Amino acid sequence: MRIEEDLKLDFKDVLIRPKRSTLSTRKDVDISRSFKFKHSKEKFEGVPIVAANMDGVGTMDMARAFHKDGNGLSVALTKHYDKDVLVEFFKSKAAANAWYSIGTAERDLEKLQAVLKDLKKEVVTPINRICLDVANGYSQAFIDYVKTIRDLFPNCLLMAGNVVTGEMTEELILSGADIVKVGIGPGSVCTTRKMTGIGYPQLSAVIECADAAHGLGGHVCSDGGCTVPGDIAKAFGGGADFVMLGGMLSGHDESEMKVIEKDGEKFVEFYGMSSSTAMDKHSGGVANYRASEGKTVHVPYRGSVENTLQDVLGGLRSTCTYVGAKRLKELSKRTSFIRVSQQLNTVFGNG
Ligand code: 5GP
């Protein structure tokens, strides 16, 4: 047994110090990024915020809304759409902003190959972004699977995770991942920390994994734990190239969920993808050798995602203005984090 004494930080433990700036309005700030990736050589142009591959968030309606809005955000589709629905979707222009999500189950790869086969005839938007997602990216089997997917799809942009430490980030990049997804336990409907005791404070995970990835010409996506627009700015400030959002994008018209009325107020169901709700829905219940590591909540119904995006993108532009970053690319270089005391933290929370 060993105890690490180094300080590790979550988003709530810091604030960003304002800096002298020549920017007079947030209108002048460019929050899009352009990347070229290590293995696929694919290019990315747009706002590097990704809707998580969760029911109620990673939906086709969300991708259509982002496409219509022209905001450059993208959506990691939940992996539970049927093959024919996926084929139809990938024939549409809205798919330009979508990531095809898979896990390590054989049926996921079989479905992807079947979709690609059907699409060959009539493809409008090729599937060129894959999100390979498992709760625990630390197994040798997962590393081998990343290599397999890279070999099968050499030109596809591949995002893979989740991990929280530098050495595993390097391993995944060397195995073929263009982008490593970072985060174990910070999610709004995740109970991994409670159920297993495993986790890593998200801001430190991002800082350490970004450093490791950038050293190898790779990229990272901070996944989970953002509850307010300022958290997204902190993730980018810590070195994240992409930020993935679940809870912040739940509860909208685009969630493809029914709106529930309770005591005159409207709610939408939102659940973790390892919750018993998700497993009942997609896998016929929780297998007897495992426990659910996600919970189910009712989030307030918030209408169209457009309104939320205005807050998210406006907040990020404003952060850039406060630190004098004309482009999102400069934010990390211009970020100095200030640790906030526990007392301040409790009184003001994330507000
Ligand atoms: P949020 O933005 O809601 O804080 O976090 C979203 C992320 O939580 C997802 O992208 C995914 O990595 C993670 N997540 C989603 N469902 C579950 C779950 O049931 N259990 C765990 N441990 N993590 C989850």
Both structure tokens of 156? 């596809």
Q: Is the CB of 231 under 6 A from ligand 1?
A: no
Q: In Å, how far are 227, 251, 307 from 254, measured between CA atoms?
A: 19, 8, 12
Q: What are phi and psi of 291, to 5 degrees?
A: -115, 155
The structure tokens 């049927």 sit at 82
Closest protein CA for atom 4 of ligand 1 = 187
Q: What is the pLDDT of residue 284?
A: 83
What's residue 347's pLDDT? 53
Residue nearest to atom 10 of ligand 1 (CA): 52
Instruction: Compute CA distances 220 → 123, 136, 183, 264, 278, whole Å.
Output: 29, 16, 10, 42, 27
The residue ranking higher by pLDDT, 291 or 258, is 258
Q: What is the DSSP string of 103-139?
A: -SSHHHHHHHHHHHHHHGGG-SS---EEEEE-S-TTS
Nearest ligand 1 atom to alpha carbon 293? 20
Mean pLDDT, the chain, rounded, equals 94
| Residues designated as active site | 190
CA of 102 to the centre of ligand 1 (A): 15
Q: Which amino acid is at 52?
A: A
Count helices and strands (H / E) in the chain: 12, 15
Measured by CA distance, the residue closest to atom 8 of ligand 1 is 187
pLDDT of residue 351 exceeding 50, the answer is no
- pLDDT at residue 106 is higher than 70: yes
Residues 191, 256, 49, CA angle at the centre, nearest 5°?
A: 65
Digit-coded pLDDT (tens) for 6-49: 999 999 999 999 999 888 888 889 999 999 999 999 899 999 99
Nearest atom in ligand 1 to 294's CA: 19
Q: Which of the four pLDDT bands, split at 50, 70 and 90, describes residue 97?
A: confident
Inter-CA distances, 217 with 120, 241, 244, 329, Å: 32, 12, 20, 15
Taking the centre of ligand 1 as the mean of its atom positions, its distance from the CA of residue 119, in whole angstroms, is 30
Mean pLDDT of 227-240: 98
> Is the CB of 292 within 6 Å of ligand 1?
no
What is the structure's pLDDT at 349?
46
Query: How many A from CA of 343 to the centre of ligand 1?
Result: 28
Handedness of CA 110, 114, 115, 116 (dihedral sign): positive
Pick the residue whose CA is nearest to atom 21 on ligand 1. Answer: 190
| Least confident interval from 229-233, 244-248, 283-287 | 283-287
CA distances from residue 165 to 36, 44, 137, 240, 339 in whole angstroms, order as listed: 23, 25, 10, 14, 21
What is the CA(273)–ligand 1 centre distance, in A?
A: 7
Q: Is 175 in the pocket of ligand 1 (CB under 6 A)?
A: no
Q: Is 251 in the pocket of ligand 1 (CB under 6 A)?
A: no
Pairwise CA distance, residues 148 & 125, whole Å: 23
> Distance, CA 249 to ligand 1 centroid (Å)?
12
- Ligand 1, residue 186: give the atom nearest the CA: 4
Rounded to two decimals, the pTM is: 0.96
